Chains A and B, each alone.
Chain A
Amino acid sequence: MKNPPSRPKFGGAGLSGGFSLMRGDRAAQLVPQARLAGPMPWVIAIMVALTVIAAAGGLALNNLAQNARSELSGGATVQIVEALPQERDRQARAALALLAEHPAVASVRRVPDAELERLLEPWLGVGADKEAVPIPALIDLQMRTEATEAQLDSMRRLLADQAPAARIDAQSAWLGPVFSAISSLQWLALALVILLGLTSAAAVWLAARSALGTNRNTIEVVHLLGGTDSQIAQIFQRSVGFDATLGGTVGLALGLVAVLVLGQQFVGLDSGMVAGGGLTWINWLMLAVIPIAGVIIAMLTARLTVTGALRRML
């Protein structure tokens, strides 16, 4: 019998080297790649698509609330609730003159009758009888700073003599319940994003455990040949990373299409408040980061699952 071939020269990579020297290409061959045949990429695609939609909804609501708040925070409305048209007109002019002099007021504007009629048209119909349904005169105020209750009280006292029918309200107060609802929806969107992230991690955990079971012989052999936990985890990380990248890309595309279609439909509503819910370029970038975060979560989950299972071996 001839001697066995001479001892190969080891790369001196030590325990930290090994598969990493091959940039994972050879290591990846150790686990048969099911690629699109397995459920993993599709589960991740669905999760990423839902996360993109939920996150886009949350960001749109945030933009909408911020725009509405900045528009309304310094605004107040004065209503002259007087049934007699001449008296209503007199009080409106008096209030306009007094408020223009108030130090907290930046600008004051009487809402023209034509604009009022247009605003009320959906409820009163075209050519409503003004005598039968008296419409208050409206004065739109823009304050120098956010409207406070103290400022509003000061204005009420100012108008008490000359315009006793005047009622002053901060515009933000009207929309308080709306902001509260928007805030709840934002929290809901955030909770959905977190839940979907956790669900994705759980799906990867299950898939990694299943892959561990399927490839148990390979893992044990590599382990007994001196493979480190890190090397073995790398094999699965790479496989899961590929699936997650594929699924994340498909999911992002699906999610963005859904967001664009929904956006177009909301634009069609032609509502001033909804128009403030458009996404900025930073928001789009944040959405694009979701699949990257998905890939990182998936690879981290796979690594933790595999190293956890390996720790049960000697």
Chain B
Amino acid sequence: MSKRVGETITFDNVGLRYGTDREVLSDVSFTLYPGSFYFLTGASGAGKTSLLKLLYLAQRPSRGVISMFGTDVITLPRSRLPAFRRRLGVVFQDFRLIPHLSAFDNVALPLRVSGVREADLRKHVTDMLEWVGLAHRTDARPATLSGGEQQRVAIARAVIGRPDMLVADEPTGNVDPEMALKLLRLFEALNRLGTTVVVATHDVHLLKKVPDSLIMRLDKGRLSDPTGALRYPPQRQVTDRDDNAQLGQDGGEF
């Protein structure tokens, strides 16, 4: 059965400048489809982080139109944006875990923000920590976790609410290649369930690890799309899958 063939995000001639400086993003146009896997690449200063900020609604563009889940979010009142943010998962480059909260409480945060009852969220958070291989570190504060463990807590926090789109900024930047591959497998597992994934990375080796992924390449604030595949991608259908179905065990355990 097919589902969710509509677009998740559309950027149309989006430009962004900070203050009166030159534009850091110019004429960026693309469409992200549900269930797709995108790598966002580009040199340092190309505008990757700025583009991600627009994607996770931390920034308004200076011009252009951004449509998210069928709604123009540029003209939307501020008060309606939290509902859209709750449909997104974000893995920050510097993790941004809350230092005085345990791993459990950090992962539970999106559910608490969304109003999930304490009795209901406990099992989900425990399962999620188990999924990222941190079942034994539920009470640990971020300062006592290794870089890779912190990264996994950040990923667990980003995906606990099963977002429609996951945005990850250099999620493998602080971990060794083996751990980077394992993290990628986590994103793939989520992607198989229909979540659109956007991963910003410098690591060109990662790009080959996800066969069906699309590449978004930024160069000096402009998105290169020589084939037009980002702006007018071929219609893609995502297979409806039961959340509990077994979809393969190719990534190994943490």
- Provide the residues of chain A in CB contact with B82, threshold 8 Å: 15, 226-228
Given A8-B161, A10-B116, A225-B85, A3-B193 contact (CB < 8 Å): yes
Residue of B79, B83, B114, B189 touching A3 (CB-CB under 8 A): B189
Q: Map CB proximity to B onto A1-45 as digits: 1 under 8 Å, 0 otherwise.
A: 111111111111111011111100011011010000000000000
A218 on interface, CB distance cutoff 8 Å? yes
Question: Which 4 A-B residue pairs are closest in the complex by CB-CB distance?
Answer: A1-B251, A13-B115, A226-B86, A17-B115
Given A15-B83, A217-B96, A311-B78, A3-B115 contact (CB < 8 Å): no
Q: Are A21 and B115 in contact (CB under 8 A)?
A: yes
A288 to chain B, nearest CB (A): 36
User: How far, in angstroms, from A6 to B159 measured CA to CA in the complex?
Assistant: 11
User: How far, in angstroms, from A17 to B162 measured CA to CA in the complex?
Assistant: 19
B246 on interface, CB distance cutoff 8 Å? yes
Partner-binding segment picked from B7-15, B105-113, B224-232: B105-113
B38 to chain A, nearest CB (A): 19
Partner-binding segment picked from B17-25, B53-61, B172-180: B53-61
Number of interface residues of A (CB under 8 A): 42
User: How far, in angstroms, from A4 to B130 measured CA to CA in the complex?
Assistant: 9
Some 25 contacts from A to B, beta carbons below 8 A apart, are A1-B185, A1-B251, A3-B192, A4-B128, A4-B159, A7-B243, A8-B124, A9-B120, A10-B115, A11-B115, A11-B117, A12-B115, A15-B82, A15-B83, A18-B112, A20-B115, A22-B118, A221-B98, A221-B109, A226-B110, A226-B114, A227-B82, A231-B113, A313-B58, A314-B78
A224 on interface, CB distance cutoff 8 Å? yes
B81 on interface, CB distance cutoff 8 Å? yes
Beyond A10-B115, A224-B57, 11 additional contacts (C-beta under 8 Å) are: A2-B189, A3-B245, A4-B190, A6-B244, A10-B116, A11-B117, A11-B120, A19-B113, A221-B109, A227-B113, A228-B79
User: How far, in angstroms, from A217 to B121 measured CA to CA in the complex?
Assistant: 24
B90 on interface, CB distance cutoff 8 Å? yes
Residue positions of B touching A, CB distance < 8 A: 56-60, 78-79, 81-86, 88, 90, 96, 98, 100-101, 105, 109-118, 120-121, 124, 127-128, 130-131, 157, 159-162, 185-186, 188-190, 192-193, 243-253
User: How far, in angstroms, from A49 to B53 measured CA to CA in the complex?
Assistant: 48
A81 on interface, CB distance cutoff 8 Å? no
Given A1-B250, A1-B251, A4-B190, A222-B116 contact (CB < 8 Å): no
Which residues of A204-243 have CB atoms within 8 Å of chain B's CB atoms? 217-218, 220-229, 231
User: How far, in angstroms, from A225 to B57 measured CA to CA in the complex?
Assistant: 10
User: How far, in angstroms, from A30 to B121 measured CA to CA in the complex?
Assistant: 17
User: How far, in angstroms, from A220 to B109 measured CA to CA in the complex?
Assistant: 13
- Could you say which of A8, A20, A29 has the most chain B C-beta atoms within 10 Å of its C-beta? A8
B50 to chain A, nearest CB (A): 13
Given A7-B162, A11-B115, A32-B100, A224-B246 contact (CB < 8 Å): no
Nearest neighbor of B155 in chain A, beta-carbon distance: A4
- Could you say which of B98, B131, B253 has the most chain A C-beta atoms within 10 Å of its C-beta? B98
Q: Are B250 and A11 in contact (CB under 8 A)?
A: no
Nearest neighbor of B188 in chain A, beta-carbon distance: A1
- Could you say which of A3, A10, A29 has the most chain B C-beta atoms within 10 Å of its C-beta? A3
- Provide the residues of chain B in CB contact with A1, threshold 8 Å: 185-186, 188-189, 248-252
User: How far, in angstroms, from A227 to B189 measured CA to CA in the complex?
Assistant: 27
Residue of A26, A220, A229, A313 touching B112 (CB-CB under 8 A): A26
Q: Are A2 and B109 in contact (CB under 8 A)?
A: no
Q: Are A26 and B118 in contact (CB under 8 A)?
A: yes
User: How far, in angstroms, from A108 to B1 measured CA to CA in the complex?
Assistant: 108
Q: Are A218 and B120 in contact (CB under 8 A)?
A: no
- Provide the residues of chain A in CB contact with B101, threshold 8 Å: 29-30
User: How far, in angstroms, from A152 to B250 measured CA to CA in the complex?
Assistant: 110
Residue of A12, A29, A226 touching B113 (CB-CB under 8 A): A226
Nearest neighbor of A5 in chain B, beta-carbon distance: B127
Given A19-B112, A26-B112, A6-B189 contact (CB < 8 Å): no
B165 to chain A, nearest CB (A): 13
Given A1-B188, A314-B59, A8-B111 contact (CB < 8 Å): yes
- Provide the residues of chain A in CB contact with B111, threshold 8 Å: 8, 10
User: How far, in angstroms, from A27 to B114 measured CA to CA in the complex?
Assistant: 12
Q: Are B60 and A21 in contact (CB under 8 A)?
A: no
User: How far, in angstroms, from A20 to B116 measured CA to CA in the complex?
Assistant: 11
Given A6-B244, A21-B117, A22-B118, A314-B105 contact (CB < 8 Å): no
Nearest neighbor of A227 in chain B, beta-carbon distance: B113
Nearest neighbor of B195 in chain A, beta-carbon distance: A4
- Provide the residues of chain A in CB contact with B127, threshold 8 Å: 5
